[in-house]
Every structure is written in structure tokens, then in C-alpha cells.
């Protein structure tokens, strides 16, 4: 009974890349390369990283839209890939997802009431009348006015649409809500509203969140724990305050130095990363971050370029994957 | 780019092969043969003719012989080896089955230049007329001229080309006799057929280019150019034209195919001895070799033109990456 | 595995919303189709096109019933009469029911016409051709061929094209590849050559009694080449929808493929199919005219617009132009095509407003 709500074990996801020539060996685009994560009941885990680092693929795997190439995803101890029938339906109910772009995630030909109703009908939940009541209840929960009931997505603002998308995920009463950059397509002012809404919903229903974002300011407001991904791997994981106050991985430091923190008075030195994020088709040897790493000179020898740093515990709650001497 | 061309070449081979194969089997599967015309031939004569054109061979052998590049008959590698290569892959279309003393190659050599002249002239006229009309009407949108262009374009699109041709003949050959009605040879013979062939495409090009121009003219960088004080005509010619040209260029591929199709009709109306005339006649007379020859040549021309258009397209719009194209 | 909690308390107090739901369900929501229809109706050009097309369809279906002269009755005494204005009074009483072999329904209508109007017929309002046949009657009867070709092409592109495209888009991978390569090859082949082949070849003499009529072959062939663009368009749209986030969302909630097909893909493809249909019909009608001109379409004494225009074009000569022989079928065709493309454009605009992204 003590299994975490969601556990990701050694997850790998790769895609076959299009061959450029007829006789070229098949190349693999490896989006996720061995990730381990745990999300406890009611906890909020933030997952940050640049675009293309594999965080969205991870999210899709957690909700079952992407089949893992190896490794497993356990929901409350049940292996996602091998669940069938009733068990699978129960899994789908327990894990919901909110997508990034509220313009694309709602069917333009479907009134929003139908969009919110759909998960209930698909899963044959209760009686039709109760389902429609549930839609209104969900509208209320996400702060949508009831008079929008008959509207179509194109009649709504971006923020309202994202509320519809959240309501759609909420009606099945999920224990884990995966939010794949739910705010990055929204205007700044609306962004805060949606973050507040998610925080409220979490308070009210006690569900766990897997919150994926590249916006650290948003992550900081919402999450308990943060995992930082780079090139398909988690490079640092720590409780929120520990991570934001004392980042241990050079990449995390660089990310954090880029956010503006007016209320804290402190001024971090801005670390500007050179170069591009690595291509998932052929990542650098050793530590994938080493070509861009500002602290590489502090590691003796060519260790960074040749040896993959393992994600290991720095102390009771912090994990880091770096060859750098922890005392530095 | 080279990879794109390579892929195109491969695709070209596949398409040509498909054309040949489909055409071959459709013709052979058809009831009746080239010698089952109105005039009933004596059975022995017909048998001799069939043997001469190898119609008595098994189908696979006929197919391989037609395809080439090796001759399978008595002159080929398995005969006296006096003429090893033959068939379509060796660009040898064989003798015509209706006109027994003419080879398809000779007939094509005579008629194809005529069709190509007519077709390229028509495309040129279509481009000049279409783009000219579009430029003028985009410069004064909403003007009387603009409305006239839009009306003419609409009319050009809904009238079949033989109706357009008849109207042209009516006006320019009968009422104001400045051009001959039919024939081929002198430059003035080209005028009406090329115009009749060009007008529907000119109409479409005018429509495309006008829409493209108006859209480009509303873009931010045009506004910037205006703000910098560039003259209106400089904006139109230097900045907007490029944006308007892309849809037109991509339309040229289908337009070329359309011109080929249209030339079947136009050549007939104006009694022009082009490849289209040969083709229609050969298809009606079941002249297998001639029909096959014209089809393959036309397919190759359409394909080549489409490839050229694609290349031109990337030169105009560098954002498009041919490598990515499937 | 941990058991699902027996009686989970619901997060939502559904019962609180009874009143609101009752009120909301009393409203009659505006459906997207209805909204599109209203937008469509607001455009005068679309209204007129629609009226014209409906009128044309009625006219062409009811042609045998109308008191027109017979389209096939030859009367050399009346050869090449020009159209007259004002129209001569429809007083002639020399109608002879001369037709080609008519279908049972048409024959019924003709006999009904003779019992209704007797020998009374309209005058030669649009003149007569070189054999003294009435041009108006021939244009009206000719519309039947054009509309039938259009209908046939519409059906094939709907049945073959749309399902071919949908199948390719839905199955993806190798199936998609094979299906679309076939379409590509057929596209690259100048289809007109295949059509001419098929028409001349399938219609060969000595093909026996069991062969299809020229007309049937003609419809088959035109249909066979008109579904390609529909297949491409539908496949593109289906692929895009398959990858769309709203389909993913439904998938994540456990929707099956049939569910997604009927709830999301079909409604989103339907509008596109309708628009594509109206926009491809003009080219099919032109195609018929083109083939008839080459002598590969319907056979005299039957008529089609293409055949009429071809006859008119051949009758042109420097002494006496007989322009009406070309103009009458030409104008009929032009008006029909114009109406169709206006309707298509209008439909596209009306249906796409709801899908506009305000980004």
C-alpha cells in the first residue's frame, strides 16, 4: 500500500529517425534516456528544462500517449504498459493531462460542454444527466461562468480555453494531473491566473501534479520539488527551496541566473550559456552538458567528455549528476 | 539540392515505368487491335501484320520488347545482333502501326517541335498577360481596371478553351480579319492558337498573382519600405512582386500539364500538325506504338517541367527545403 | 495492486447544479452548421448561385416534361435560324416526340408531356442548328449530361477519394506510404492520356454485346480520375487532426479509434470535403466538355454542352458565323461553373470562420 502514486523507472523513449540515405543505418532519436522519478500523493513535482530536452515526451509517457521503449511507469504500483481492460480504464481516470496550447487542445467543432463531457462519456461514467451536472460542477471548479456552457472554443479567450482544458482533465477526478507547459502559450496576465487556479485546485482536491515548464518563476510558485532535465536525463533534483537557493548543477545555475528576481534583492551573476542544446540524435559523449558547461575547467582531466556522471545523492534530499566536487 | 534531384530522378524512373506499364496493359487488354478497323483484312494478311508487330508473342515478351532497352526480335541479341538496342528505354518507339512506313520517332521529331513551340508560347503569353494584369490591378485595387481584370479572369476560368478559341476566331479571323483561321508555318499562324491556349491560364495566374500581391502589400516590411519613402512602383516591383511570384511559380507545373492537355483541342481546332493531333488520332485508331510514344514523351515533359518548377520555387523562397520534401 | 477505494467521495457536489442545468438546457444553442448557413445566406452572390443551380437541376431533370421542341427532331426547312427578339409567340403545333432511346422514367415523362401539351411547343427562342434542331431544347437536354457527369464525379470523389484519403491518414506508416504513392503516380501520369486510352480502347468495335455503353464507360472513366485530389486533401486533414492535441486529449481519456473518428475527425473533415466537392465540380464539367469536343464523350444524337459547343465551333465560318451555336452552350456552361465556384468560395468562407485561430 506504500507505493508512490506515480513512479517512473529507468524510462527510455526513442524514435526512429528518418533515414537520410537509403543505406544509412537506422538512427534513433532518443528523447528520454533513463529517467527515474517518484510523485507522492498530493505532491507537486516540477520538471524543467529547455525545449527538446524530453520533458514533454516524459509527460506523454506518463499519461499513456507514448509507449516507453524500455523502463516502466507505475501508477500506484500498477505497470502502465501492461494494464488492460478495467484496470487500464481506472489508470486513465487517475491520471489526467492538460496540454500546452489551449487553441489546439480543444476541438473547434465541439461546444465546450461536449469537450468537458467527453471523458465522462468515454468512460461510461454515471448516468447522462449526472454527467451534465458534473460538467457544470467542473465549470464552477475552474472558474468558468455557467453561461459559457453552450459556447464553442473560438468564442473564448485563451485563458478561458485553458480553463476548459483543465475542467476536462478534472471531471474524472484524477489523482495525478500532468500539466505540459500549461501556461507557456498564454499572455503573462493570464498565466498567473492559471497558476493560481492550479494551486487552488490542488489545495481543494488534494491531487498530485506533474508540472512541466521552462518558466522557472511559475515553477517556483507552485511546486514542492523540482527535477531539472537536460538532453533526456535528470541532472538535478531537489526540494524547491534547496534548488532555488543553492543550485548544485552548473546547468541549473545557468537556468536560475536567467530569471529575474526583483523581490529578493540579491543579484546573481548572469550565466550565459554558449551554443545550442544538443541534438537528441547524437548527444555529446560523457556528460551531455559538457560542451556548454562553464564549470568544466574545474573538473580535472577529460572526465566530463568521457564519463557519464550518475545521478547520485548529495545529501538526504538532493540528487545531482555532475563530476564537479560537491564542496566547491 | 543534389539529393533532391537524385530522389526526383528515382521517382522519375518509377513514374515513367508506371506510365509505360499502365499504358501497355490497358492497350493490350482492350478488345480489338490495330488491324480490326472498318476494312476487314484477309486473315493471312492480318496474321502477317500481327507477326510483323510481334502481336503473336506472349504478353511478357511483348512487354519486355516494348520496354527495352534490348531488342528481343531477330535483329536483337538473340538473333543476328545487328540491332541490339530497342524499346522505349532505348528511346526507340518503333514503327507506327497505322502508317506502316513511318516510325514513331520520325513522326514525333516532326510534330513535337510544333507542339512545344505552341505550348511554350502559350505559357509565355499566359505569364506576361496574367502578371501584367495582376500588377496593374494590384496597383489600383478597386479601380475600374481592377474590376475588369477580375471579371475577365472569372470568365477565363469558366469557359472551356474551345469556346474561347471559337470566340477568338469569330472576332480576329472573321469580323476583324487580322489572323488566319488555321494552318501552320508562318508566324502569324501561331497567334490565335497560342492566345486561345494561353487565356484560361492567364486568367488563373492573374487571379493568383493579384491575391499574392495584395497580401504581400499588406505585410509589415512593405509598410516599412513605404515609411522609408520608397516609391510606390519601387515597392511593387522590388518587394511585392517576389512574394506574389511564389504561388504563380508553383502553379506553373499544373499549368504546363494543362497546356499539354489543352493543346489536344487547340491543335484540332486550328488544324495544327502537332503531337496532340497525332495522339488523338493514334488513340482512336489503336495505333499502339504511336499512342505509347506520345504518352511517354508527354509524361516525361510534365515531369521534367515539374522538377524545374520545384527548383525555381526554392530559389524564390529559400525557406523551403527540398531535402525535407518527401 | 492496491484496490480502488470502495466508496470514494466525489469531489463535486453535482446536485447543486440541477437548477443551472435545467435553465441552460432550456436555451437552444446555435450549432456551427446553422451559424454557417446563416453566414452563407447573408451573401447575395451565394444566394443567387444556389437559386440558379437548383433551378438548373430542376430544369434538367424535368426536361422531358417541358413543352420544348424535340432536341433530336431534324427539320432542314428551319436550319440555322438565329435567335429572335422579341421571342416569337410559342404557337407552333408541330411537336414530334423524336428522341434517342430514353430511360423508363424519361419515357414516362415524355408521354405525360404529350398528353399535357399535345403537339404544342415553344418557338425557337435560341435559334436552330444546321439541321434545324432547336438550340434551347438541346441546351436543356445537354445540361443533363453535364450534371450527371458532375454527380458521378462527386460520388466517386466522395466514396473512393475521401475513404482512400481517410484510410491513408488513419493507418499511417507503410499503408499510408503505399496508398499515397499510388495517388502520386496517378497524379504524375497525365491522366488525360489514360482517359483517352480507356475511352477509345474500351469502346472498341468487336468488343461483343456485353460491353458497357459508351456513356457508362465515359462516366466510369471521368469518375476514376476525379478522386485523386480529394484523397490528398482528406489525408492531409486527417493526419493533421490525428496529431492534434484535442485528439490526444481524447486518447488520454481512453477514447477508442471509432470514437475519435466519429466525434472528432469526421465533423472536422466534413466541411472540407463539401468545399472541395463544390470546387472540383467545375473542372469535371470542363473535362466532359473537353472529351466531348474530341469526340470521346456522349455520342450523337444524344447531346451534352461540350458536344453542342464543339458542333458550334465547327459550324463557324467566315461567311455566316452562327455565333449563337457556340454562345448558347458556352454561356450555359459558364453560368453553371460560375455559380458552382461562387458557392464553393462562399461555403469555404462560411465554414472556416469558426476555425480561425486568433493568434
Average pLDDT on C226-253 reads 86
Mean pLDDT score of chain B, rounded to an integer?
A: 77
DSSP bridge pairs for A46: A211, A226
C-alpha cell at B23: 499504358
Percent residues over pLDDT 70 in chain A: 93
On whether residue C123 sits in a domain, the answer given is no
Contact A104 C24 (CB under 8 A): no
DSSP state of C10: P
Percent residues over pLDDT 90 in chain C: 4
Neighbours of A (≥3 Cβ pairs closer than 8 A)? Answer: C
pLDDT, residue B302, reads: 79
What residues of chain A lie within 8 A of the CB of C21, using their CB? 132-133, 136
Yes or no: say if C254 and C326 are a contact pair by the CB < 8 Å rule.
Answer: no
pLDDT, residue B259, reads: 87
CA distance B83 to chain C (A): 30
Sheet containing strand A176-180, strands side by side: A95-98, A176-180, A208-213, A44-48, A225-230, A233-239, A319-320, A312-313
Q: Which residue has the higher pLDDT, C79 or B9?
A: B9
Whether A132 and chain C come into contact, CB under 8 Å, resolves to yes
- The residue among B152, B246, B140 whose CA lies nearest residue B204 is B152
On whether residue C95 sits in a domain, the answer given is no
CA distance A136 to chain C (A): 7
On whether residue C333 sits in a domain, the answer given is yes
On whether residue C339 sits in a domain, the answer given is yes
Yes or no: say if B68 and B89 are a contact pair by the CB < 8 Å rule.
Answer: yes
Write down the domain spans for chain A.
244-328
- What is the C-alpha to C-alpha distance for residues C245 and A195, in angstroms, rounded to an integer? 21
Q: What are phi and psi of C349, to 5 degrees?
A: -65, -45
Q: Which residue has the cell 444527466?
A: A129
Write down the ipTM of this complex.
0.84
What residues of chain A lie within 8 A of the CB of C245, using their CB? 99-101, 104-105
On whether residue C327 sits in a domain, the answer given is yes
Contact C248 A65 (CB under 8 A): yes
Q: Which residue has the higher pLDDT, A263 or A30?
A: A30
Chain B to chain C Cβ contacts (< 8 Å): 139
Write out the CATH class of domain B104-325. mainly alpha
Confidence check: pLDDT of A45 > 90: yes
Respond yes or no on whether the N-terminal peptide bond of residue C86 is cis (omega within 30° of 0): yes
- Strand A225-230 and strand A233-239: the pairing is antiparallel
C-alpha cell at C48: 443567387
DSSP bridge pairs for A12: A33, A70
Sign, Cα dihedral of B181, B183, B189, B192: positive
Mean pLDDT score of chain A, rounded to an integer?
A: 85
Chain A 156-215, residues with CB within 8 Å of chain C CB atoms = 165, 168, 170, 172-173, 204-205
Largest CA distance in chain C: 98
CA distance C79 to chain B (A): 20
First-to-last CA distance in chain A?
Answer: 41
- What is the C-alpha to C-alpha distance for residues B163 and A15, in angstroms, rounded to an integer? 56
Confidence check: pLDDT of B321 > 60: no
Percent residues over pLDDT 70 in chain C: 85
Contact A110 C259 (CB under 8 A): no
SS3 B263: helix
Contact B166 C313 (CB under 8 A): yes
Chain C 266-325, residues with CB within 8 Å of chain B CB atoms = 282, 286, 289-290, 293-295, 306, 309-310, 312-313, 316-318, 321, 323
Yes or no: say if B192 and B169 are a contact pair by the CB < 8 Å rule.
Answer: yes
On whether residue C169 sits in a domain, the answer given is yes
pLDDT digit string, tens, across residues C313-353: 777 776 677 778 888 888 898 899 889 888 888 888 787 75
Q: Which residue has the higher pLDDT, C29 or A8?
A: A8
For the beta carbon of residue A272, count every other beta carbon within 10 angstroms. Answer: 8
Confidence check: pLDDT of A178 > 90: yes
Considering only the beta carbons, identify the residue of C197, C205, C207 that sits closest to B27. Answer: C197
Mean pLDDT score of chain C, rounded to an integer?
A: 78
User: Where do the H-state alpha helices sit in B99-160?
Assistant: 104-139, 144-158
- The residue among C92, C187, C165 whose CA lies nearest residue C134 is C92
On whether residue C71 sits in a domain, the answer given is no
Q: Which residue has the higher pLDDT, A71 or C121?
A: A71
Average pLDDT on C215-238 reads 80
Domain count along chain C: 1
Which distant-in-sequence residues (6+ apart) come within 8 Å of B91 by Cβ?
B105
Contact C253 A172 (CB under 8 A): yes
What residue in B sits closest to C285 (Cα-Cα)?
A: B160
What residue in C sits closest to A88 (Cα-Cα)?
A: C254
Average pLDDT on B240-266 reads 81
pLDDT, residue C213, reads: 67
Contact B299 C188 (CB under 8 A): yes
What residues of chain A lie within 8 A of the CB of C9, using their CB? none
pLDDT, residue B36, reads: 59
Angle at C139 between CA C136 and CA C141, to 5 degrees: 105
CA distance C352 to chain A (A): 10
CATH of the domain at C186: 1.10.3720.10
pLDDT, residue A315, reads: 82
pLDDT category of residue B291 using cuts at 50, 70 and 90: confident
CA distances from C110 to A238, C142, C281 (A): 89, 16, 29
In our burial notation (b when 16+ CB lie closer than 10 A, e otherwise), range B251-264 reads bbbbbbbbbbbbbb
Over its C-alpha atoms, chain B yields an Rg (Å, rounded) of: 24
Contact A104 C252 (CB under 8 A): no
Which distant-in-sequence residues (6+ apart) come within 8 Å of C346 by Cβ?
C40, C43, C45, C46, C49
CA distance C28 to chain B (A): 39
Contact C2 A115 (CB under 8 A): no
On whether residue C340 sits in a domain, the answer given is yes
CA distance C48 to chain B (A): 16
Whether A79 and chain C come into contact, CB under 8 Å, resolves to no
Boundaries of domain holding C140? 39-60+128-358
First-to-last CA distance in chain C?
Answer: 46
Considering only the beta carbons, identify the residue of C201, C207, C337 that sits closest to B26. Answer: C201
- Strand A70-75 and strand A44-48: the pairing is unpaired
For the beta carbon of residue C327, count every other beta carbon within 10 angstroms. Answer: 21
Output B223-226 pairs: Cβ under 8 A, ≥24 positions apart.
none
pLDDT digit string, tens, across residues C283-308: 888 888 888 887 777 777 788 888 88
Contact A77 C357 (CB under 8 A): no
C-alpha cell at B239: 518587394
- What is the C-alpha to C-alpha distance for residues C330 and C289, in angstroms, rounded to an integer? 10
Contact C246 A87 (CB under 8 A): no
- Strand A208-213 and strand A44-48: the pairing is parallel
Q: What are phi and psi of C267, to 5 degrees?
A: -60, -35
DSSP bridge pairs for C128: C134
Yes or no: say if A114 and A153 are a contact pair by the CB < 8 Å rule.
Answer: no
Contact C188 B303 (CB under 8 A): yes
Amino acid at each position: 500500500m506504500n507505493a508512490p502514486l506515480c513512479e517512473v523507472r529507468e524510462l527510455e523513449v526513442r524514435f526512429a529517425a528518418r533515414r537520410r540515405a537509403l543505406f544509412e543505418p537506422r538512427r534513433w532519436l532518443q528523447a528520454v534516456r533513463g529517467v527515474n522519478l517518484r510523485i507522492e500523493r498530493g505532491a507537486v513535482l516540477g520538471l524543467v528544462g529547455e525545449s527538446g530536452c524530453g520533458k514533454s515526451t516524459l509527460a506523454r509517457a506518463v499519461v499513456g500517449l507514448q509507449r516507453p521503449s524500455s523502463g516502466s511507469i507505475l501508477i500506484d504500483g500498477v505497470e502502465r504498459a501492461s494494464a488492460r481492460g478495467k484496470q487500464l480504464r481506472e489508470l486513465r481516470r487517475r491520471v489526467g493531462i492538460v496540454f500546452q496550447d489551449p487553441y489546439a487542445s480543444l476541438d473547434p467543432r465541439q461546444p465546450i460542454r461536449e469537450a468537458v463531457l467527453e471523458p465522462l462519456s468515454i468512460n461510461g461514467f454515471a448516468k447522462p444527466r449526472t454527467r451534465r451536472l458534473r460538467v457544470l460542477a467542473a465549470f464552477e471548479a475552474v472558474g468558468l461562468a455557467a453561461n459559457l456552457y453552450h459556447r464553442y472554443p473560438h468564442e473564448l479567450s485563451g485563458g478561458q480555453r485553458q480553463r476548459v482544458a483543465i475542467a476536462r482533465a478534472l471531471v474524472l477526478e484524477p489523482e495525478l494531473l500532468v500539466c505540459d507547459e500549461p501556461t507557456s502559450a498564454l499572455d503573462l496576465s493570464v498565466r498567473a491566473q492559471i497558476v493560481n487556479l492550479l494551486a487552488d485546485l490542488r489545495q481543494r482536491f488534494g491531487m498530485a501534479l506533474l508540472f512541466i515548464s521552462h518558466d522557472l518563476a511559475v515553477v517556483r510558485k507552485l511546486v514542492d520539488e523540482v527535477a531539472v532535465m537536460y538532453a533526456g536525463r535528470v541532472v538535478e533534483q531537489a526540494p524547491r527551496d534547496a534548488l532555488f537557493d543553492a543550485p548544485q548543477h552548473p546547468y541549473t545555475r545557468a537556468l536560475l541566473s536567467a530569471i529575474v528576481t526583483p523581490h529578493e534583492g540579491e543579484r546573481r551573476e548572469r550565466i550565459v550559456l554558449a551554443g545550442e542544446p544538443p541534438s537528441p540524435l547524437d548527444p555529446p559523449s560523457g556528460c551531455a552538458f559538457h560542451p556548454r558547461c562553464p564549470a568544466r575547467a574545474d573538473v580535472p582531466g577529460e572526465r566530463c567528455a568521457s564519463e557519464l556522471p550518475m545521478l547520485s545523492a548529495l545529501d538526504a534530499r538532493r540528487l545531482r549528476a555532475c563530476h564537479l566536487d560537491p564542496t566547491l | 539540392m543534389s539529393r533532391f534531384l537524385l530522389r526526383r530522378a528515382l521517382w522519375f524512373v518509377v513514374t515513367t515505368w508506371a506510365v509505360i506499364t499502365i499504358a501497355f496493359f490497358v492497350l493490350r487488354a482492350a478488345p480489338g487491335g490495330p488491324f480490326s478497323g472498318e476494312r476487314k483484312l484477309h486473315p493471312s494478311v492480318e496474321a502477317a501484320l500481327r507477326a510483323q508487330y510481334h502481336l503473336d508473342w506472349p504478353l511478357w515478351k511483348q512487354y519486355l520488347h516494348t520496354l527495352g532497352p534490348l531488342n528481343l526480335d531477330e535483329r536483337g541479341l538473340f538473333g543476328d545482333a545487328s540491332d541490339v538496342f530497342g524499346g522505349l528505354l532505348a528511346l526507340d518507339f518503333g514503327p507506327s502501326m497505322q502508317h506502316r512506313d513511318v516510325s514513331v520517332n520520325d513522326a514525333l521529331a516532326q510534330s513535337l517541335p510544333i507542339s512545344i513551340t505552341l505550348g511554350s508560347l502559350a505559357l509565355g503569353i499566359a505569364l506576361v498577360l496574367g502578371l501584367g494584369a495582376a500588377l496593374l490591378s494590384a496597383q489600383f485595387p478597386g479601380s475600374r481596371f481592377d474590376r475588369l481584370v477580375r471579371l475577365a479572369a472569372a470568365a477565363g476560368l469558366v469557359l472551356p478553351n474551345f469556346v474561347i478559341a471559337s470566340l477568338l476566331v469569330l472576332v480576329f479571323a472573321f469580323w476583324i480579319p487580322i489572323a488566319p483561321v488555321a494552318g501552320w508555318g508562318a508566324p502569324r499562324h501561331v497567334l490565335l492558337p497560342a492566345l486561345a491556349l494561353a487565356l484560361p491560364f492567364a486568367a488563373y495566374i492573374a487571379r493568383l498573382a493579384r491575391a499574392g500581391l495584395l497580401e504581400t502589400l499588406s505585410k509589415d516590411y512593405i509598410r516599412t519600405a513605404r515609411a522609408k519613402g520608397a516609391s510606390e512602383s519601387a515597392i511593387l516591383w522590388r518587394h511585392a512582386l517576389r512574394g506574389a511570384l511564389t504561388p504563380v511559380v508553383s502553379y506553373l507545373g499544373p499549368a504546363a500539364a494543362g497546356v499539354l492537355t489543352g493543346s489536344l483541342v487547340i491543335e484540332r481546332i486550328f488544324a495544327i500538325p502537332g503531337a496532340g493531333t497525332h495522339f488523338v488520332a493514334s488513340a482512336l485508331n489503336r495505333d499502339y506504338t504511336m499512342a505509347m510514344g506520345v504518352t511517354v514523351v508527354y509524361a516525361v515533359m510534365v515531369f521534367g517541367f515539374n522538377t524545374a518548377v520545384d527548383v525555381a520555387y526554392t530559389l524564390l523562397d529559400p525557406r523551403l527545403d527540398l531535402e525535407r520534401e518527401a | 495492486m492496491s484496490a480502488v477505494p470502495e466508496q470514494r467521495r466525489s469531489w463535486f457536489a453535482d446536485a447543486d447544479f440541477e437548477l443551472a442545468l435545467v435553465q441552460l438546457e432550456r436555451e437552444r444553442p446555435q450549432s456551427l452548421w446553422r451559424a454557417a448557413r446563416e453566414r452563407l445566406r447573408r451573401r447575395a452572390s451565394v444566394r443567387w448561385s444556389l437559386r440558379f443551380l437548383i433551378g438548373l437541376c430542376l430544369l434538367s431533370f424535368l426536361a422531358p416534361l417541358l413543352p420544348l421542341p424535340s432536341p433530336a427532331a431534324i427539320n432542314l426547312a428551319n436550319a440555322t435560324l438565329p435567335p429572335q427578339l422579341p421571342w416569337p409567340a410559342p404557337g407552333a403545333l408541330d411537336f414530334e416526340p423524336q428522341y434517342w432511346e430514353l430511360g423508363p422514367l424519361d419515357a414516362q415523362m415524355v408521354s405525360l408531356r404529350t398528353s399535357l401539351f399535345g403537339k404544342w411547343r415553344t418557338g425557337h427562342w435560341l435559334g436552330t442548328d444546321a439541321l434545324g434542331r432547336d438550340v434551347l431544347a438541346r441546351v436543356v437536354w445537354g445540361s443533363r449530361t453535364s450534371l450527371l457527369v458532375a454527380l458521378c464525379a462527386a460520388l466517386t470523389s466522395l466514396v473512393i477519394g475521401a475513404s482512400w484519403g481517410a484510410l491513408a491518414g488513419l493507418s499511417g506508416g507503410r499503408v499510408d506510404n503505399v496508398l499515397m504513392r499510388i495517388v502520386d503516380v496517378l497524379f504524375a501520369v497525365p491522366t488525360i492520356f489514360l482517359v483517352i486510352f480507356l475511352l477509345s480502347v474500351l469502346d472498341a468495335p468487336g468488343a461483343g454485346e456485353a460491353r458497357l455503353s459508351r456513356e457508362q464507360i465515359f462516366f466510369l472513366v471521368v469518375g476514376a480520375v476525379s478522386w485523386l485530389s480529394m484523397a490528398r486533401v482528406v489525408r492531409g486533414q486527417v493526419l493533421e487532426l490525428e496529431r492534434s492535441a484535442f485528439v490526444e486529449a481524447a486518447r488520454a481519456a481512453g477514447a477508442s479509434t471509432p470514437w475519435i473518428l466519429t466525434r472528432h475527425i469526421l465533423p472536422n473533415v466534413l466541411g472540407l470535403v463539401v468545399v472541395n466537392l463544390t470546387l472540383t465540380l467545375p473542372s469535371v464539367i470542363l473535362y466532359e466538355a473537353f472529351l466531348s469536343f474530341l469526340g470521346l464523350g456522349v455520342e450523337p444524337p444524344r447531346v451534352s454542352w461540350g458536344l453542342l459547343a464543339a458542333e458550334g465551333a465547327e459550324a463557324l465560318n467566315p461567311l455566316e458565323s452562327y455565333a449563337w451555336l457556340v454562345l448558347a452552350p458556352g454561356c450555359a456552361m459558364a453560368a453553371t461553373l460560375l455559380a458552382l465556384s461562387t458557392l464553393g468560395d462562399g461555403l469555404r468562407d462560411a465554414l472556416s470562420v469558426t476555425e480561425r485561430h486568433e493568434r
